[in-house]
Amino acid sequence: MVEVFKTNVQEIAEAQEIVTLLTLHFPESKINFDLHDCDKILRVEAGDVHVSRVMDLVQQNGFLCNVLD
């Protein structure tokens, strides 16, 4: 399962911090950003993606994060 989120992460260093954080919470997941996309996409691939937890963790670190429709 792949979930795609819209964020306001701008910098590579910020994206790397978020990926590291999410990897600690979801070690079996594949997580990456596409900062070149206008929606600053965060992709999380796993057997079961905990959408609300992903959004909470990103938001707790000061960034917007919503499921992309």
What pLDDT was estimated at residue 69?
Answer: 82
Domain count, the chain: 1
Domain assignment of residue 36, given as a range: 2-67
The enclosing domain of 24 has a CATH number of: 3.30.70.100
What pLDDT was estimated at residue 44?
Answer: 97
What pLDDT was estimated at residue 32?
Answer: 98
Average pLDDT by stretches of 10, the chain with 69 residues: 97 97 96 98 95 97 95
- How is residue 37 annotated by DSSP? S
What pLDDT was estimated at residue 55?
Answer: 98
Of residues 61, 9, 16, the one with CA closest to residue 36: 9
What pLDDT was estimated at residue 34?
Answer: 98
Model confidence, pTM: 0.94
